[in-house]
Chains A and B, each alone.
Chain A
Amino acid sequence: MKIAVVVFPGSNCDIDLFEALHTVCGAAVEYVSHKRDNLDGFDAVMLPGGFSYGDYLRCGAIARFSNIMPAIVEFAKQGKPVFGTCNGFQILTEAGLLPGALKQNDSLKFICKTVSLTVENNQTLFTTQYKKKETIALPIAHADGSYYADEETLAELEENHQVVFRYAGENPNGSLNNIAGITNKAGNVLGMMPHPERAVEAILGNLDGLRLFKSLLENGKVTTEEAVR
């Protein structure tokens, strides 16, 4: 399985994803420039955190128009795994690959800390190595992570089990339904504000993110259809 880590101007967690996948998990990974127009030869694509285009206008709003985006949309339509963390999640919502939007934290401040999450759905490509309802801890680092969707969308998300991670205990940013991460309906696109790639090594004090990448690497071997439920 070969994974693309997309680099937008202003991405800054690209190296973190790369190292987590490559150095820690031993996966085949390649940086892919936003200028490229195809994802030929890749089996999964990851959108890193950071401040693409300075987060000017809205977070992720301008990145959505980069050259690589049509290829990512097509990739997602084909049911292949697409993952976005933090700014990557924001880009996925702006691009319409995930429903809803991320707005400014209720505190109006950037917040970097480790939060508790409940794994709500362990049947996705990305979460099979977690237990359902398991509580894990992952770092967050964002100023605009308050998930919003209208009531109808929220109801649909809940009904389809698209909410994958929920803040447990304190809600750090005001997200509706305590949502920290969601998939699309088909389950092959996951976006989340927390940073699993920052929690894959014992020396950094947290291993709870590791199983997300391991799940994907394991499930990548089987076809997407089979892996989703």
Chain B
Amino acid sequence: MAVKVEMSPVEIKNKKPYLEWGLTEKEYDFISEKLLERLPNYTETGLFSVMWSEHCSYKKSKPVLREFPNRNERVLQGPGEGAGIVDIGDNQAVVFKAESHNHPSAVEPYEGAATGVGGIIRDIFSMGARPIAMLDSLHFGEIDNAHTRYLINEVVAGIGGYGNCMGIPTVGGETTFDECYSGNPLVNAMCVGIMDQKDMQKGQAKGVGNAVMYVGAKTGRDGIHGATFASADFADDRETQRSAVQVGDPFMEKLLMEACLELTSQHKKWLVGIQDMGAAGIVSSSCEMASKAGSGMDLTLDNVPQRETEMSAYEIMLSESQERMLLCVRAGFEEKVKSLFKDYGLEAVVIGRVTDGNDYVLRHHGEIVTNIPVSSLTDDVLEEPSEERKPERITQAESLSNWIPEFTDAKEILRKLLVQPTIASKEIFTQTYDSQVRTNTVVGPGSDAAVLRIRRTNKALAMTSDGNGRFVYLDPFVGGQIAVLEAAANLIASGALPLAMTDCLNYGDPNDPEIYWELHQSVLGMSEACRVLNTPVISGNVSLYNENNGEAIYPTPMVGMVGLVKDINKHLTNIFKNSGAKVFLVGNTRADFAGSEIQKMLTGKISGMLNAIDTEFESKKLFKLLQAIEAGLVDSAHDLSEGGLAVGLVESTFSSDVGLDIELKTMKAQDLFSETPGRFVVSVTPEKVEKFVEIMEDDCMEIGETTAKQKVHLKCQNADFEIQVAEAQKIWEEAIPCLMK
């Protein structure tokens, strides 16, 4: 490969290559006139362009992210590190974060998804935590064409391929389908880890003279400008030998993880800080580590292990090769660290030192190729005020009355809902994930939340990831509230106290004022719900510019939430356990059809306004239910979401031995399919009913009982029908496999 002759600073000023790398003219001028007071050279311009990208700097979303509450009595580490950390007692802590890999997955779905998983796992073990579980949140187009099927197959295979090999169980997540995601699938991955609090690490490089060490895979030219690349770049790439796609090597990462965990748990004296190399590789990890400690840094790029020849400083610094970590090692312990990694077959190399002051100095081939203040990369980013405007469609919807379903055959509606891809069984995907490795998975994919026991304690962690772009699209504020509420409801249905949350904010182009308004409003809605539920946002990720042929996706915030089950024996699943139990509906049912599954099914689109939500009221109800569950009064609990009560009831009979006899005296047939949030179906053995009702008061309504017959009998004011459990389960299970053929 020929060495490219790099443009001189003056040529850069005149030819403006930085525009293509994502830097605006205004930013470039600010950098050269105010920050450096000289023209940046080629390498430096590259560094600014990635560090000032939205992906690394959050320059667009920062003002909005400040809305999130991120502290409470349990939070040990909030946003700002690889992942957030929450106290779970016994000197242990849970660590988690979510990350999006939407754009890479649209281009190369297998590797895009796989490297997304690899990246989020590194964020967790870089905190000193042992990753114990993965969750994924996937949104695709409708399964009616070969390309979508290809994307689904490859993304799912990529997530499984990486997690399975790492030996980290993938225990939960969500998969939805909607036309708006067809060219721009959303691939969000969340990793949860557990640690002893004494092992907590930070991504910092302090102490003049301490070593900066590089460990893991060699650096290649992959993923350069990963933050800004577009699929169009690849169309003409067929004939070339070049590829910017990052390829994951989970085997390497497994070794890296075990070695790093040995270092962080057993050799704390050797280590000052540790951070993974994610987006924008060496540059972002090194300058962030220096910035957090208020240090300078001096790196010699010739020492960076490289697997391609003649890489320029620019390429070395911007490469997004996977499976690499950066360490700050106390001077004098370099050899010890090297030999630890060597034991795992890995090479650790000193690439530089921590220095006094604020200078970020890079050397290559005997020359200084960069000399700029650390803070210019990390702190001086120009935050640009964004314009906001309420979309026309919402103003219009406010003046119209909401759609109400009309139908005659409720049973037929139920059958049709059960085969809607967003409702139907996802087992065809989840069974390609090893959900049990490490033998802690008490509840795997399929229930409301996954539950993992914590060995040698009586506790467990529950975890879920949820999002519903349709609601957020119709009403960002209420949709944001619902996203958080739904995640909390999933945890509570499993018997867990919600602790904290992470998020991935997936939106369109933020320069569009309407999209920015959606982002802002939905974050306000989420924040409000978080405050009320006391679930601070401890980590997260933003993915903007999700567009498909110029059309934005639905604004789709993914909420990942983790909860604590105090007594593992009290955890619940959504499946009825015994016949003869009383069935209760918790929560009131309103006419909530805007954005519902039945609306989409019957009208082919979504429309209308969402009803306002009283989160204080919802929260009280949720915690009452948790109290009842923790008191051992409840046999099973299922929170109601897509498809509403009828779907929830039927789902809770699947793979059980029981049927149902339900009478809803106050409801009409359409109410069976309303999607009012904050509701649950729970079963209670008769002798516990009195105590249960005492706690729940009028937040619950007895609606029938479980029977020994394998059928569901549903009766309301204007409908009365039966459906065999086996039949319902069969169509629900076969729907997606059939579409995927």
Which A residues are within 8 Å of any B CB, using their own CB? 9-10, 12-13, 15-16, 19-20, 23, 49-51, 53-56, 109-113, 139, 141, 143, 195, 197-198, 201, 203-205
Contact = CB atoms under 8 A, between A and B. Distances in A.
A56 B345 CA distance: 16
A53 to B, nearest CB: 7
B442 A54 contact: no
B250 A51 contact: yes
Contacts of A50: 167
A141 B345 CA distance: 27
B437 interface: yes
Interface in B144-197: 157, 160-161, 164-167
A205 B431 CA distance: 17
A224 to B, nearest CB: 29
A183 B455 CA distance: 33
B603 interface: no
Contacts of A195: 436
Nearest to A7: B258
B167 A110 contact: no
B403 to A, nearest CB: 40
A112 B165 contact: no
Residue picked from A9, A12, A23, A55, most chain B C-beta under 10 Å: A12
Nearest to B428: A109
A203 B167 contact: no
B439 A197 contact: yes
B439 A16 contact: yes
Contact of A51 (B157, B164, B439, B442): B164
A227 to B, nearest CB: 27
B254 A51 contact: yes
Contact of A141 (B250, B251, B252, B436): B436
B733 interface: no
Interface residues of B, number: 29
Contact of B432 (A10, A110, A197, A198): A110
B640 to A, nearest CB: 25
8 contacts: A9-B251, A10-B254, A12-B166, A12-B254, A15-B438, A23-B455, A141-B437, A203-B453
Residue picked from B157, B160, B432, B435, most chain A C-beta under 10 Å: B432
Contact of A54 (B160, B251, B433, B441): B251
A10 B568 contact: no
Given A110-B432, A111-B431, A139-B436, 15 more contacts: A9-B254, A10-B254, A10-B255, A12-B438, A15-B439, A23-B455, A50-B167, A56-B251, A109-B157, A110-B157, A112-B432, A112-B436, A195-B436, A198-B436, A203-B453
A112 B439 contact: no
B249 interface: yes
Contacts, number: 80
A195 B436 CA distance: 10
Contacts of B167: 12-13, 50-51
Contacts of B251: 9-10, 51, 53-56
Interface string B535-572: 00000000000000000000000000000000010000
A17 B455 CA distance: 14
B42 to A, nearest CB: 37
A203 B451 CA distance: 11
Interface of B: 157, 160-161, 164-167, 249-252, 254-255, 344-345, 431-439, 441-442, 453, 455, 568
The 3 closest A-B pairs by CB, nearest first: A12-B167, A54-B251, A51-B165
A23 B255 CA distance: 25
Nearest to A200: B439
A16 B164 contact: no
B437 A12 contact: yes
A19 B436 contact: no
A12 B453 CA distance: 18
A201 B568 CA distance: 13
A86 to B, nearest CB: 10
A10 B166 CA distance: 8
Contacts of B254: 9-10, 12, 51
Residue picked from A53, A198, A203, most chain B C-beta under 10 Å: A203
A62 to B, nearest CB: 10
A111 B434 CA distance: 8
A10 B250 CA distance: 9
B347 to A, nearest CB: 14
A19 B568 contact: no
Contact of B164 (A20, A110, A113, A201): A110
Contacts of B164: 51, 110, 141, 143
B724 to A, nearest CB: 22
Nearest to A107: B432
A1 B365 CA distance: 60
B17 to A, nearest CB: 39
A51 B252 CA distance: 11
Given A51-B250, A55-B165, A110-B164, A141 B439 contact: no
Contact of B431 (A12, A19, A53, A113): A113
A23 B252 CA distance: 30
Contacts of A19: 439, 455
Contacts of B431: 111-113
A18 B344 CA distance: 20
A50 B161 CA distance: 12
B152 to A, nearest CB: 13
Contacts of B160: 110
A6 to B, nearest CB: 15
A9 B252 CA distance: 9
B165 A54 contact: yes
Nearest to B439: A16
A13 B437 contact: yes
B685 to A, nearest CB: 20
A11 B102 CA distance: 30
